[in-house]
Structure 1
């Protein structure tokens, strides 16, 4: 039993000795690779190098792109003060790069001076936000005549390479090659046969995913001579009232606009009021003539002029009678309706009376003739029956009448509501 215990202790001691010996005899090795680091321009960056079993060996940092030794162990070799090194008293050696510059971009090597030498490499990526190069871009203000061509250029630098986009400041669409687009991509924006509606602010925007994005404002002025549009060239108004005359103008550069009558410029007075409302290259001219008199009627001219030309519009002001009070349409229609009904009733009554009179006259004539014929035949003894006296209804009874007598009686009963 004691012999087995001694054997177990011996094995354990041999294992411990083997481990210690291996630790003492194994050389340095890297525990993990150097990561690739991306940092914006002007920020700080740290590159780690993790080594175990370093022993008495030294760690050095080298910038391969510059072929420059930066640090050896705890000492900084480079004369660039932005580089430094730190050790956490364990396995990690950190290379510090402060206020990173574009030239700091590249491969960095962590090296251990074993024989043979061991090393590993990491990459420092320095990204640069976009920057518009004014010296290579279109100035902030451009003037071009209407219907001519103009090209806008925007150059930018940065890393990664910036993307250039154009858009209008008023969010209107851009016409490129007869197509309308909200956003145009490219360094050069070509506008062909530009019109006044395309005048305004154009924004060049540069972006590459590294904040902040930058933009440049380019004002495009489209120049053209004045033009005038007159809504009403004939204006009528009664004497003693106020009247307004209107002219609409378009011009760029900005035009001088005024009113003229009889070759005399009209200035704001108690008689005349002149208003001018401007919106971009458009303007609205309004002249108010107060308390119109006979001498105020005639021709008025609105004139607009700039460095490219001059134009005018003409308005004739004439007198019209003062409006009179007119009955309301409903009252007029009601009165006419009543009069028409009255005329219709009178006409109807007159017509009925004429028909009635004619019928009665025919009846009386036939009745007289009938009585005469009966008397004559009675005297001659032809055997005709003499009609009896009239019924209570006022109508006579029928025996053997002739057709005219029968018709007269029927009509008479119709008008007097009798029955045979």
Structure 2
């Protein structure tokens, strides 16, 4: 059906496919899944998870904003999964789009030493840890080391990276500098 100006008076709803369908968030944070819908008349957006409609009642962990974004408050591991956005306006067919939510564990990163002063000839061990922020459990990850922002080359028997530790044996003045441990964990670097 067309309006007097030749424009359609009704069109089925559609969902903009420019938004990411794979969304990652860190446990404990707020996250938004964006569902931008259009059509004539303006469609109403609803969200489902595992086939069940999510209702943003007061005090709920879910909010649906005016623009159709689903906000999940205080993200938890059990929130991970598939969410479906549905746009409907009374004109068939309605439009749906699935989003995959990945919940990452919160990380805390620590290096056991700040300014260390040791005597020449002494041994020094630097330890770097990556911990789950909630449980304080160490996370097994591969570390690399840098000195003054340059990748550190091991020197057999003297400068030895061992997992999350860097051992400097028989330290001397040329070992002075800023040491950094780096990691790559599930695409997150530090």
The two structures have a TM-score, normalised by structure 1, of 0.23
Larger radius of gyration: 1
Name the structure with the higher helix share.
1
| Greater relative contact order (Cα < 8 A, sep 6+) | 2
Name the structure with the higher strand share.
2
